[in-house]
Structure 1
Amino acid sequence: MIQPTKLLKFIVLFIFALTISCESKKEKTASSTTEKSSTIKEESFKLWTWITAEKTRTDESFDEEFEKYGDNGLDAILINTYGDPELLARLVPIAKKHNLEVHAWMFTMNRPGDKIAEQHPEWYAVSRDGKSCFDEPPYVGYYKWLCPTRKESREHVLSLIEGLVKVEGVASFHLDYIRYSDIFLPIGLLPKYDLKQETELARYDFCYCDVCTSEFEKEHHKNPKDFRNPAIDMEWKNFRLNKVKAIVDEAYKITHENGKQLTAAVFPYPEMADHMVRQRWDKWQVDAVLPMIYNVFYNEEIDWIGYATKQGVEDLKGKDTELHTGIYVPEMTPEQLKEAIYQAKSNGAKGVSFFDGPAITDDQWRVISASQNP
């Protein structure tokens, strides 16, 4: 027969053990819930779009546009305000109302309509045949490229970036045209300009201004203007790649000092960007890249989007840079758009961005909305 005292001790110990067991189960359940939540967050696939905002538009018209984006599953909008921080500040609360992140998108080294830059013709990039983008822009009239080496033009661009990142509620500054002018156009665009580009042509090879060539000569003891074939001089090529990188590095400091991130629209994958526009984005300090994998510009099929996405993801291994695939929606059928999103997602992209918001059709919106429901 069990003594009353021993029975009491047994009951107390039993209750204590039961309590510990329950608490342990609660902790495991909580831990499991946290892990599940973390996994969901990590596996979320982000949807963006690029848009251009005109300050003459009403708040009501922006509200209607942003509501469509939010209702169809978009997470973020990249807004080009032509470098205007006041317009950006006006749009942030409207976008937030529809749960949209706002990213300040700006043409960086290509500065059409820049009234301050236009007062300084010497700031503009010069081609190998001596033509300045100020007087004779290559390809199209809005190709007004600034020299990335010249102190004044570089500081001007960085001051515009700082003005935009100081706007409250902005998630990132988004670099666009962060490169030199196209040495080679996408093959699908060549007929439009009646061009054949099989070598690096002098008219499209930048920048040979006095500041660039003298700085290079001081460092490497040779002048690019004297080269018979500049395309094969790796120091000259690297010099220009590094001038673009230096601006990106400075932009990264500015954005992070202001509590914002740095994102960039870039060419499809690093080796291609290097070849076409002197842009080696896998070597940059940047939080996210949105490569413009516009297959139609390159006469490529939809599966090329997967190929280029995978190439970029591989080149970014070991870096803290996310890749979100840029998709060009005009001329895409809903079925092609669905496949494009699949190609990006299955090849390692963290999301996709659509160019551009106003061009998306109702049928395409249905595809985009459905893509958020696996």
Structure 2
Amino acid sequence: MMTNNSLLKFLAISTILLATSCELKKEPTPPNSLAINTKTVEKNFKLWTWITAEKERTNESFDEEFKKYSDNGINAILINTYGDPTLLTRLVPIAKKYNLEVHAWMFTMNRPGDKIAEQHPEWYAVSRDGKSCFDEPPYVGYYKWLCPTRKESREHVLSLIEGLAKVEGVTSFHLDYIRYSDIFLPIGLLPKYDLKQEVELPRYDFCYCDVCTAEFEKEHHKNPKDFSNPAIDMEWKNFRLNKVKAIVDEAYKITHDNGKLLTAAVFPYPEMADHMVRQRWDKWNVDAVLPMIYNVFYNEEIDWIGYATKQGVEDLKGKNTELHTGIYVPEMTAIELKEAIKQAKTNGAKGVSFFDGPAITTEQWQTIRDSQND
């Protein structure tokens, strides 16, 4: 069975944090420094995994887990500490003991359980049919999306990023849920919700709060609430794409000012991300993307991992951004995992990330070890 944290990632498909406090600002670390440490990286192909850390766990249990990752060839771990820099600080030296990079993973615009945000219901995104994520979240109860336009919600998110960016020893801040709520779910998930999504439905179309619509109307002299078919208005679509980009670009500045990199979990390739969640990640300032190419959610076969990887690599040409393919390991046989890694490698990925670490089976670990000799 999936854990709650796996289910979070499962629904969003989609997929956080970082760095160093010092009096003198460091120069930004170049993107190719993502490929550091350990024998696998000598071949310029990096192995990552996502994990969620509970603060109640002992250091000894984390030590055992991190040792297993290192022994099996993992180079980097993306750790979700629920935005807690104290827990992240505690885990960094344990990971470093095993020569593992630490990337601070955080839910960005989707903020379930955010006690500060919960004190401000007006910060939450509003659907076209007037439902706020604060009290009527779409799909599931933990879809608590903040508005990316509103000054206060933006500043709150950026303050969390800045706090984590001051944790010493972290390689990157890793953005997840850096988008709007799903306007279209992956096709493989629709039966779970008894849904048909052939057009943009008002319930899943965000954000129509007063701040967003007023700012758009000021710029473009029309109000999205008056549109008979908002899906065909390109200015309104671009307005929202650019609001997400603005947060990413601010995060890039914050992380680089602290001597850290910026990475992000994103949808499989830019055109798909644009269509499904208003996320055009090939236009971002970001050092590396880990597209979640989870073929099972899209009813696709393993070779689709190669297709989506290649599409993303092509879309990033000319940009200083690496692509590392995200692979969903549950429901995947060891033979399928071997082919998935091969598809990513041969189509231009700089590495692969496995979701998630605790879900990897003994047989899959053998495949991962063997892949380092291919």
TM-score, length-normalised on structure 2?
A: 0.89
Q: Deviations over 1:83-138 (max 9, x none)?
A: 00000000000000111000000000000000000000000000000000000000
Name the CA distance, whole Å, in 2 between partners of 1:86 and 1:43. 34
Name the CA distance, whole Å, in 1 between partners of 2:93 and 2:70. 13
Identify the residue that residue 87 of structure 2 maps to in structure 1.
Answer: 87
Pairwise CA distance, 1:373: 1.3
SS in 2 for 1:170: coil
User: Is the counterpart of residue 320 in structure 1 residue 320 in structure 2?
Assistant: yes
Identify the residue that residue 103 of structure 1 maps to in structure 2.
Answer: 103
SS in 2 for 1:77: strand
More helix by share: 1
Identify the residue that residue 152 of structure 1 maps to in structure 2.
Answer: 152
Identify the residue that residue 292 of structure 1 maps to in structure 2.
Answer: 292
Name the CA distance, whole Å, in 2 between partners of 1:251 and 1:163. 11
Pairwise CA distance, 1:43: 4.1
Q: How does 1:14-93 map to 2 (within 5 A)?
A: 43-93=43-93
Percent sequence identity over aligned pairs: 90
Name the CA distance, whole Å, in 1 between partners of 2:67 and 2:231. 49
Identify the residue that residue 306 of structure 2 maps to in structure 1.
Answer: 306
Identify the residue that residue 139 of structure 1 maps to in structure 2.
Answer: 139
Name the CA distance, whole Å, in 1 between partners of 2:122 and 2:42. 47
Name the CA distance, whole Å, in 1 between partners of 2:356 and 2:41. 26
Q: Deviations over 1:144-170 (max 9, x none)?
A: 000000000000000000111100000
Pairwise CA distance, 1:177: 0.1
Identify the residue that residue 10 of structure 2 maps to in structure 1.
Answer: none
Pairwise CA distance, 1:370: 1.0
Identify the residue that residue 33 of structure 2 maps to in structure 1.
Answer: none
Letter in 1 for 2:252: Y
User: Is the counterpart of residue 265 in structure 1 residue 265 in structure 2?
Assistant: yes
Identify the residue that residue 9 of structure 1 maps to in structure 2.
Answer: none
Letter in 2 for 1:44: N
Identify the residue that residue 6 of structure 2 maps to in structure 1.
Answer: none
Q: Deviations over 1:28-72 (max 9, x none)?
A: xxxxxxxxxxxx967410000000000000000000000000000
Identify the residue that residue 195 of structure 2 maps to in structure 1.
Answer: 195
User: Is the counterpart of residue 116 in structure 1 residue 119 in structure 2?
Assistant: no
Name the CA distance, whole Å, in 2 between partners of 1:137 and 1:41. 42
Q: Deviations over 1:313-344 (max 9, x none)?
A: 00000000000000000000000000000000
SS in 1 for 2:171: strand
Name the CA distance, whole Å, in 2 between partners of 1:43 and 1:50. 22
Query: How many correspondences in the alignment?
Result: 335
Higher relative contact order (CA 8 A, sep 6+): 2
Identify the residue that residue 172 of structure 2 maps to in structure 1.
Answer: 172
Identify the residue that residue 18 of structure 1 maps to in structure 2.
Answer: none
Letter in 2 for 1:112: P
TM-score, length-normalised on structure 1?
A: 0.89
Letter in 1 for 2:297: F
Name the CA distance, whole Å, in 2 between partners of 1:43 and 1:213. 50
Distance 1:323 1:229, change over 3 A: same
Pairwise CA distance, 1:346: 0.2
SS in 1 for 2:214: helix
Letter in 2 for 1:363: E
Identify the residue that residue 32 of structure 1 maps to in structure 2.
Answer: none
Letter in 2 for 1:281: W
Distance 1:167 1:119, change over 3 A: same
Name the CA distance, whole Å, in 1 between partners of 2:372 and 2:93. 24
Identify the residue that residue 209 of structure 2 maps to in structure 1.
Answer: 209
Name the CA distance, whole Å, in 2 between partners of 1:329 and 1:43. 23
Name the CA distance, whole Å, in 1 between partners of 2:202 and 2:217. 19
Pairwise CA distance, 1:355: 0.2
Letter in 2 for 1:284: W
Name the CA distance, whole Å, in 2 between partners of 1:285 and 1:141. 31
SS in 2 for 1:68: helix
Identify the residue that residue 372 of structure 1 maps to in structure 2.
Answer: 372
Name the CA distance, whole Å, in 2 between partners of 1:209 and 1:201. 17
Name the CA distance, whole Å, in 2 between partners of 1:73 and 1:301. 26
Pairwise CA distance, 1:256: 0.1
Name the CA distance, whole Å, in 2 between partners of 1:369 and 1:102. 20
SS in 2 for 1:174: strand
Identify the residue that residue 282 of structure 1 maps to in structure 2.
Answer: 282
Identify the residue that residue 33 of structure 1 maps to in structure 2.
Answer: none
